[in-house]
Structure 1
Amino acid sequence: MSQRAGIATAVLASLALAALLVFWLQSSARLPVRLVAVGDTSGYRMLEELPPGQDPLERVRASIGESDVFVFNYEGVILDTEAQAVACPVSSHQSTFYTATGIAERLRAGTVSVATLANNHILDCGPDGIDSTIARLQAAGIRTLGAGRDRPSACRPLKLDLRGRKLALLAYLAVPGDGLCAGPDRAGAACFEHCEGPRRIAELAAAGYSVVVALHKHLGPSWTERVHPEHAALVDEVMAAGARIVLGHGAHMPQAVQARGGRLALFGLGNFLFNTDYAMPLEAHRSVLAHLSLEPDQASLRLEPVMLERSGLPYPALPHEGDAILYRIAWLSESFGTTLRVHPDARGSSAQLVVSRHR
């Protein structure tokens, strides 16, 4: 082969490779962004009760691992050592959730793992507890948002670029008063009003981001499957501002789903990995993995039912358990103008849930 022919062949090969790369990039850009979102998660009492080396997510990890982004609401504090727990103040109105550092590595799953921290337990061990929680999670490769040493750091969104798709996550706490809220020079949670939630959501949506908002709601009762009117109004405000997905937390039980104009709100995802010092009601042991698929003009949902053992560890729901979970969510969702269809899951779990109508 002459030198000229060799050069021509190399050029053609390079052009073919470039064309293949462009095709791959275009094809990737058309693929939806896949999120798996779960409910309230805490390492409290987990490490003490687990056998050494056991993975607390081992029975659900395969389902989570298919996601581009895995999002969970971490309730409580991760300390550097168990001895630090003696400095955590005891509350008269709620439990104090803390655990040692080893839990963080066991929570990473999916391509990108995200812990939202805007909740009523992030200050269980004071400002130092916020610092250690963020540090331990990030050291384990888990992104964090929703809390910080001051308001700017707490309110900051998490921006991701996934195959050319821009995704922005925000995490807010809605609670009476401002005792848990980060201030200009005060550590705490990202509170919805203090962070100017509607403005931030609208700005991100206008900039071309698909906005996902994790909303921890404590304006009404917890431990209920019913959506409090103030919580429903707050979710409406978040969706009207431009959020594509709203992930509800704080109720500790699965609640209704609302679909509206290509947007989805899950009012309550229930508990995911959760243990307490007291017996939880049966409904608090029912939960779901929310498989969300984000495309440019729509969002779709599949709910995979899971149950929590007495110890708080999640496992795939048995057929009768899964049906009870999904049919209950479907019934609750009817009052929000959303029909959910339950049918057998080809993967072998008991059922899945698909949005079939919305207003």
Structure 2
Amino acid sequence: MRAVQITEFGGPEVMDIVDLPDPTPGPGQQLYEVSSAGVNFADTHQIENSYLAQQQLPLVPGAEFVGTPVGGGQRVIGLLDGGGYAEKVVAHDFLTWAVPEGVSDEQALAVVLQGATAWHLLRTSTHLAEGESVVVIAGAGGVGSLAVQLAKEWGAGRVIATASSAEKRALCEDLGADATVDPALAEEDPKNFTAALREANGGRRVDIVLEMTGGKVFDGAMSALAPFGRLAAYGMAGRVPPKPVQAPSLMGTSRAVIGFWLAHCMARPAMMDAAMHDLLPMVADGRLKPVVGGRYPLSDVRTAHEDLLARRSTGKLVLDPAG
């Protein structure tokens, strides 16, 4: 089978198209023909070996796929430990879900990892209550674009999204954001970003922040939290860690910082089922509209990563194994 493989860590340039033996399923697994493979920002960390789990070489990146069992059967969306950038994958039965009629590969891929992340950030990590204000950092991205919609669906009082361009801010508003803010304000001074978030919330501090950038964006968003506010950190796209958070500062303001990594939900299948059994029907009936970005041939995987890293993309990026 054709697959993307890396034999050294680095940027997009380390990914090569190679021929590999088909993977062999173990107990409770099936072999699938891949029709589409998802691309995530975490994949860019994976090939750098800069993510939360240590990576081993050689490596086939990719954590999600849409496909059918070899020999025929139901189209499914599935999550993987790795190996998704390939024509065939092996997946555990408990990490695959039937794709409803009318839901495209791209839409299914948008919700399996990024949608489940948005779902758990709001439901499990921050326990969104009706009427609370929610700040979604990178609101035009894969997780962010779904989090904006879910927060509105679940009764958030005000949803504020950040995005780096006028076009992306307009998209956030189309998805339901009540206000948008340019995160570049944080690079000037985190205090300016804090002030802009409060202004977007009618002069009030905010209740929830979903944060995946790190650095000064994290610092400015943290300062914008109200008493009993919660910041859920689920990424560090800026590659710069925020200032350390000290317990006295949390106690003195009654604020919370929660870390989130979907891998821990994957180890508890009932948590993934709860999200997927909610999200897929929402897509099928039109209540949730995943933003589909680009579809790239497998042979053009480097360009997909380059576009993602350069913030040229919007919404979900996928690879076509046939290309």
Q: Which is richer in helix?
A: 2
TM-score normalised by L of structure 2: 0.30
Q: Which is richer in strand?
A: 1
TM-score normalised by L of structure 1: 0.28
